Amino acid sequence: MSTKQLIECVPNFSEGRDMGIIKQITDEIESVEGIRLLDVDPGRDTNRTVVTFVGEPEPVCEAAFRAVRKAAELIDMTKHTGAHPRMGATDVCPLVPVSAITMAETVAYARRLAERIGKELEIPVYCYEEAAFEPKRKNLASVREGEYEGLRMKIDDPAWKPDFGPAKFNAGAGAVIVGARDFLVAFNVNLNTTSVRRANAIAFDVRERGREKREGDPATGKVVKDANGEPVMIPGSLKAVKAIGWYIPEYGFAQISMNLTNIGVTPVHVAFDEVCSKAEARGVRVTGSELVGLIPLKSMLDAGRYFLHKQQRSAGLSDGELIAAAVRSMGLSELKPFVPREKIIEYILEDTSRKKLVDMPMSSFVWETSSESVAPGGGSVSAAMGAMGAALGTMVANLSSHKRGWDARWEEFAGWAEKGAVIQKRLLELVDEDTEAFNAIMKAFEMPKGSDQEKAARAAAVELATKGAALVPLTVMKETIKVFDLLGEMVLKGNPSSVTDAAVGVLAARACIRGAYLNVRINVSGIKDKTFAERLLKEGAEIEKQAADYEMKILAEVEGLFHAK
């Protein structure tokens, strides 16, 4: 796992039609070394482009500054029109902590970026979300209220003096809103109506802020105000959700445009289903949805599980199958194909230059093992056998979950399948981790050893790498021992026609643990820290004995089933 500090920047530019202008802005971003451009999502009718890039904090702030500068040069807000609320050429520029960095640190970077934009570019800058200097500026909608057209008056109001830059209207560039926030998912739900009024009604039903309370008629009645003269609001049904309704001529229908500001509170699948429910209550049907920008892998996997469970089906499936279920269920490909490698942040950040053993076809993996190279070897093959054992148990659980006449037990077996899939996934990761650990030892041995200092550094590196190489097969053992509960349950209670599949899973898991323990033993023999080595040997021996007992017990039950027939 990388220990580098990483932040994401998601600037929104008020140009979604001229790809030449958009390209010049993204070229500025990519001109900064260490920046990875993840996504460029233009919208013609909104006349807005959402750009996503990631990197270490200093390069990200530099890239953001250059992009804001270029946008101010190329975009004239006096001529801008579009469906999306906006305040400037660069409308919003949030920084998002991704890895090894706190929100407080991200706020500091955001405020420094805002100060530089205001000072060097002479553009008014407001700070929002976690970077806000006062509570009323935390909410983006409050800061952007009045939009570009009301900006001259807003800046003249002492209560809305910009946080940085001149308190003077900049007709060409407008104002920039810089912030620090948690990961936000921009998610639009498609409706079978062209009515903005109907779409807004649904948006008000679901968004956290809700709608203004009115006397008498909820549409035309007088707005009810509190003691401070502020409108009394009727909250919507979803927390951490901002939403508006709009009509997109390009598509020919209206959408609910949502920002999910905390997907831990309101996940994307919950937002989708709630919009479906509120739309149906108003005689409107949801036809699909659209993801603007990127989404974390966990959100898509959780959505896939959610919709499969609604169908009373097991979610003990691969990540690809879970993602496909989510895409189908939410209609994410209605407007254009949803490509996971282009929309899921972990996939985009994945190091594709590294050749993974688990991504090879089975025949290639087998031939790679048999080649003259010493890796992959017994450790990786042991992990692969453990993964196959878990896969067989998961298969039986899935078959049992969908067996005709066992509908009342689907949840029981689905739970087992999902546990098995988690173990299987981890063991597949360990196939590569074992080979990587071996390669780390080889790299340590290649270190120079000319001087006493070099010898000491080399010896320390070899010791550390050898400890790591011993821990990997022990981890394989710890993961694989968990699968015996699943296999034993499937032998006793699973689909009777698949008993022998579960039994083969037992044999594979047992072989995995025996093989992994051999690798623990050979690796600890080269460790100088004897206390560490003895601890690993003791843990390994205990697991090895547990596995032998499981194997004997479960296979005896299988034999008993044969004799009973």
DSSP labels for 442-477? HHHHTS--SSHHHHHHHHHHHHHHHHHHHHHHHHHH
- Element (H or E) spanning 39, and its range? strand 36-43
Cα Rg of the chain (Å, integer): 29
**Of residues 41, 84, 91, 269, which has the active-site annotation?**
84
DSSP labels for 213-269? -BSSSTTTSPBPB-TTSPBPEE--S-TTEEEEEEEETTTTEEEEEEEES-TTTS-HH
Q: How far apart are CA 362 and CA 217, in angstroms?
A: 67
Q: Examine the residue annotation and report whether 163 is marked as an active-site residue of this protein.
A: no
- Residue 14 near residue 78, CB atoms below 8 Å: no
Q: Examine the residue annotation and report whether 434 is marked as an active-site residue of this protein.
A: yes
One-letter amino acid identity for 25? I
Residues 6+ apart with CB under 8 A from 365: 357, 358, 376, 384
**Of residues 41, 163, 273, 434, which has the active-site annotation?**
434
Q: How far apart are CA 565 and CA 561, in angstroms?
A: 7
Question: Could you tell me which of 192, 206, 154 has the C-alpha nearest to residue 175?
Answer: 154
Strand duo 90-99 + 176-180: pairing: parallel
- Residue 205 near residue 225, CB atoms below 8 Å: no
- Residue 457 near residue 360, CB atoms below 8 Å: no
* Preceding omega of 496 cis (within 30 degrees of 0): no
Q: How far apart are CA 372 and CA 102, in angstroms?
A: 46
DSSP state at residue 497: G
Please give the order of strands across the beta sheet that includes 185-191: 241-248, 253-260, 185-191, 286-292
Q: How far apart are CA 233 and CA 213, in angstroms?
A: 5
What's the token pair of residue 409?
């037990």
Q: Which residue has the tokens 């109001």?
A: 157
What's the token pair of residue 129?
């979300």
Residues 6+ apart with CB under 8 A from 462: 441, 444, 445, 526
In order of 17, 84, 107, 229, 333, the CA distances from 44 in angstroms are 5, 11, 32, 39, 18
- Residue 368 near residue 376, CB atoms below 8 Å: yes
Number of residues that this document lists for the chain: 565
Q: In the 3-class helix/strand/coil scheme, how is 119-140 assigned residue by residue?
A: HHHCCCEEEEECCCCCHHHCCH
How many CB atoms lie under 10 A from the CB of residue 171?
11
Sign of the alpha-carbon dihedral angle for 289, 295, 297, 303:
negative
Query: Which residues are identified as catalytic?
Result: 84, 434
